[in-house]
Structure 1
Amino acid sequence: MPTTHMPLPAACLETSVVIVIGIDPHKSSLTAVAADDTGHELAARRFVVNAGTFTQLISWAQRWPQHRFAVEGAKGLGRGIAQQLAATGAGVVDVPATLAERARLLTTGGGRKTDATDAASVARVALHHHRLNSVQPEDQSTILRLLTEHRDDLTHERIRILNCLHGLLRDLVPGGAPTGLSADKAAAALRGVRPATATDACRRDIARQLLAALRRIDAQLNTNETELSQAVTAAGSSLTELPGVGVIMAAKILGHVGNVTRFPNADHFASYTGAAPIDASSGPRRRHRLNTGGNRQLNSALHIIAVVQAHHSDLGRAYYQRKLGEGKTPAEARRALKRRLANVIYRRILKDQKQAHPTAA
């Protein structure tokens, strides 16, 4: 594990100077670069990822009495080291890969890309960007996100199996398989199949295997919903009191939001969800455009809730109809309702978290 040493400026010998250690993580290694408050690189080291990586990193960082860490992709490849650091109470921020890339391109060197330059860029972003998310130890929101992501995987697999099963039944049953295919409907259709050829017998056998897999996934989905309900209850959330927000939707929102206090206000939260339009003004012209960025999972959740409320909730329907009366198109009125819902959900989660942790409020 090679170590690169650079001469330390005198200012870095003062304990008041906080050194930022940028970390560029990979599957089999991670590279750390220490930088002072001017962005000057002090030292760099590459660590092989194994059971002793964390201990080696902490020991190396002790050279600087005052230091903090910045990890690229703390919710991705950097999750492991970021969580280990956060568990010790160390200051750790999450640096998005897009910001680190921009910082690297703005430095001298012709855009050269190495693990060390990436880690140095991560450190520089942490020095100059003051709204990075602090890495928090995993909590109930992490459980909710894991459960909802697992449910999405199960749902996608169920759709794939149903499509395959539908195709086989189309060839086995005169007139094809029924619409809205389920495990029970597929089982009923298969009971009437009498293969006339060896090919049809093969199709029937595969269909039976797919049916067994479908029943297994249905059972897993039922178990998952029970676990989600328990996890939402344990989180102390009242989101399910809102029209259009069930247990699964509440779990997805809470899992992706995490600690809502990381958003300074409702406007920042709406921007994060992609529900707030983006200012695209130029000169005297004032205009906004649709925000196609943001967290797409939260944006999708807001869209579904808005559609439900526009048709089945008195307050949501009244707001939607009022926007239509103002001359907005149905899509524009729905987007306005999404923006309003973002505020409502932000305030509701903030209230719930303050009640659960009054001392942190």
Structure 2
Amino acid sequence: MEKPTHSQAPAFILGVDVSKDSLDVCLVCCAGGRELSRKTNNNPSGFRRLKAWLKQHGCEAGPETLCCLEHTGLYTRQLVHYLLAREVRVWMESALQIKRSIGMVRGKDDKVDAQRIARYALLHQSQAKCVNLSGVTLERLKDLQANRSRLQKALQSIKVTIKELLAVDPVSGKTLEQVNKKAVQGLEKSMEQVEEKMQEFIAKDDALKGKYDLLTSVKGVGKVLAVSLLVYTQGFTRMDDGRKLACYCGVAPFEYRSGTSIMAKAGVSKFANKNLKQVLHMAALNSVRYNQEMKAYFDRKVAEGKSKMSVLNAVRNKLLHQIVAVIKRGTPYEIRLDKI
């Protein structure tokens, strides 16, 4: 989860470029502005050597230190847990955000990347959002979600191949269907077990269970979208604004105009979480089919001449705003047909 950074300014900034086997570290003393670099292993013994090196230069690696690093998936997990155990403020920033803030650069080097991350953190420290991973439930949900996605892709690949072969060569298609029957059943069983384990973890965490129940009270929001939103928003601590969440999902429309020569239609940005956008799209389709409020809205806008895709995108936005509303309000969603 994320929380606002401490009000007290850090004494030291630590920029870390993380790779699978190693860490490139840049230490900046906020008082003097000096930069020191170090390379170490990305494992517990490397973390201990890093701590000893920091101590040599007056950094106790505690609450007075702000460590900034990019999201690199599993490779950051051990380091983040090690730093949080020592109360270091950990700021995980988007790699694209750091890259765009630097401007035009040429070449790439891990040591230089660590220096750039440290300088970015020094310049934007007031905007830092520090991580708090005290609850491991979200981490486990994220791992299970990734596993479910891989199982789903494998299952879809087999089924599509069989379906296409049956259309052009029924005999060979039947053979393929028969030899893959146990594989398909096994993948489907594994997906069921993953989903059951997700529900088990959510049920054990009262705070997440409450938010999960609120999310699924919105018609069209199923368990897949609910879990995805909890994971990607860190239990709605990273973002609790409908517009920001819509931007993150890639469904918020933006104007594209400049002077008199560029007058394009409003469109969505490509900078988005594609996985979450796909799940949200399926939820919007279900909402239009089974949610009377959304169905009435969709039919009315289409009848007014709006394209179906633009109206469907509006439905995705409405869903997200409803989701944020129930989370903020803390009460389940209720359909009001008089507001359609």
In structure 2, runs of 5+ residues without a counterpart are 1-7, 332-340
Contact 2:41 2:47 in 1 (8 A): no
Larger radius of gyration: 1
Q: 24, 42, 45: which is aligned to 2:35? A: 42
Structure 1 residue 135 displacement after superposition: 2.3
Choose the corresponding residue for 1:136, options 121, 125, 132. Answer: 132
**2:92 match:** 94
Letter in 2 for 1:91: R
Distance 1:326 1:39, change over 3 A: farther
Question: What value does the CA root-mean-square deviation take over the aligned residues?
Answer: 3.2
Residues in 1 aligned to 2:156 and 2:264: alpha-carbon distance in whole angstroms: 45
Q: 1:169 to 1:324 in 2, by over 3 A?
A: closer
* Counterpart contact for 1:141–1:254, Cα < 8 Å: yes
Cα distance in 2 for partners of 1:212, 1:124 equals 55
Does the C-alpha gap of structure 1 residues 60 and 264 become closer, same or farther in structure 2, counting only changes over 3 Å? Answer: farther
Q: Which residue of 2 aligns with 1:297?
A: 275
Q: 117-126 or 54-63, which moves further after superposition?
A: 54-63
Q: 1:170 to 1:287 in 2, by over 3 A?
A: closer
Measure the CA separation in 1 of the matches of 2:27 and 2:152: 44
Residue number among 82, 86, 90 corresponding to 2:80 in the alignment: 82
Instruction: Please give the per-residue CA displacement for 1:5-37, whole angstroms capped at 9, x wherever unaligned.
Output: xxxxxxxxxx97622110001112111101244
Confirm or deny: 8 A CA contact 1:147 1:228 kept in the other structure: yes
Residue of structure 1 equivalent to 2:195: 225
| TM-score normalised according to structure 1 size | 0.74
Distance 2:167 2:323 in 1: 45
1:306 is displaced (CA, Å) by 1.4
> CA 1:320–1:36 in 2, change beyond 3 Å: closer, same or farther?
farther
Identity %: 22
Residue identity matched to 1:315? E
* Pair 16,147 (structure 1): closer, same or farther in 2 beyond 3 Å: closer
> What residue identity is the alignment partner of 2:189?
A
Could you say what secondary structure the match of 1:33 adopts? strand
Amino acid at match of 1:87: A
Note the C-alpha offset of 1:100. 3.3
The answer on whether the counterparts of 1:95 and 1:122 sit within 8 Å (CA) in structure 2 is: no
Corresponding residue SS for 1:78: helix
Contact 2:69 2:117 in 1 (8 A): yes
Paired position in structure 1 for 2:258:
282
Q: Which residue of 2 aligns with 1:119?
A: 114
Task: Find out whether 1:57 has 2:50 as its counterpart.
Answer: yes
Q: Deviations over 1:254-294 (max 9, x none)?
A: 22221313226322222112121124343587963222222
Q: CA contact under 8 A between 2:43 and 2:78: conserved in structure 1?
A: no
Cα deviation, residue 332, structure 1: 1.0
| 1:255 and 2:231 aligned | yes
CA–CA distance in structure 1, aligned partners of residues 136 and 44 of structure 2: 23
Q: Is 1:274–1:292's contact at 8 Å kept on the other side of the alignment?
A: yes
Q: State the secondary structure of the residue aligned to 1:217.
A: helix
Structure 1 residues 211 and 316: CA distance shift in structure 2, 3 A: same
**Cα distance change on mapping 1:169 and 1:318 into 2, 3 Å:** closer
Structure 1 equivalent of residue 220 of structure 2: 244
The 3-state SS of whatever aligns with 1:147 is: helix
Q: Give matches, 1:1-361, under 5 Å.
A: 18-37=11-30, 40-62=33-55, 63-64=58-59, 66-73=64-71, 75-103=73-101, 105-106=103-104, 111-129=106-124, 130-137=126-133, 139-163=136-160, 174=171, 177=173, 210-234=180-204, 235-236=208-209, 237-238=212-213, 239-263=215-239, 265-283=241-259, 288-351=266-329
Cα distance in structure 2, aligned partners of 1:173 and 1:16: 70
Secondary structure at 1:77 match in 2: helix
Contact 1:74–1:135 (CA<8 Å) still a contact in 2? Answer: no
In structure 2, the residue corresponding to 1:243 is in which secondary structure?
Answer: coil
Structure with higher RCO (Cα < 8 A, 6+ apart): 2
Which whole-Å CA distance do the structure 1 matches of 2:164 and 2:291 have between them? 39
Could you say what secondary structure the match of 1:261 adopts? coil
| Deviations, residues 195-246 of structure 1 (Å, cap 9, x unaligned) | xxxxxxxxx6x87653332222222122122222323434212222221222
Aligned AA (1:139): V
SS at match of 2:271: coil
Name the aligned partner's letter for residue 56 of structure 1: R
Residues 20 and 127 of structure 1 are in contact (CA less than 8 Å); yes or no, is this contact kept in structure 2? yes
